[in-house]
Amino acid sequence: MRKVYLPCETVARYVLPIFRSLVAKELIEKYNFTQVEAAEKLGTTQAAISQYIHSKRGYKGIEQFGDILPTIQSTAKETA
């Protein structure tokens, strides 16, 4: 049986990690931030940034957001 989440739980559990991952990648790849600098900007640890960069964090369930993924991506680029 699959658990059904409230919309706010879905955002917190899936969308925000995807967004953070995309912002972290943008800061590092486009703006040449170090992982430590990106972590400071995002209020997280360098280890979390490393996991975002290597797609070990932030991509759980990404396939279910295919319809809004372009919006998440463009917003992440704009935020970075």
Is residue 73 classed exposed, middle or buried when 0-12, 13-18 and 19+ CB atoms within 10 A define those classes? Answer: middle
Q: What distances in angstroms separate CA 10 from CA 5, 30, 51, 56, 58, one per listed residue?
A: 6, 29, 20, 19, 13
Chain length of the chain: 80
Place of tokens 């990106």: 38
pLDDT at 66 over 90: no
pLDDT digits (tens, 9 = 90+) for 9-59: 988 888 899 999 999 999 999 999 999 999 999 999 999 999 998 888 877
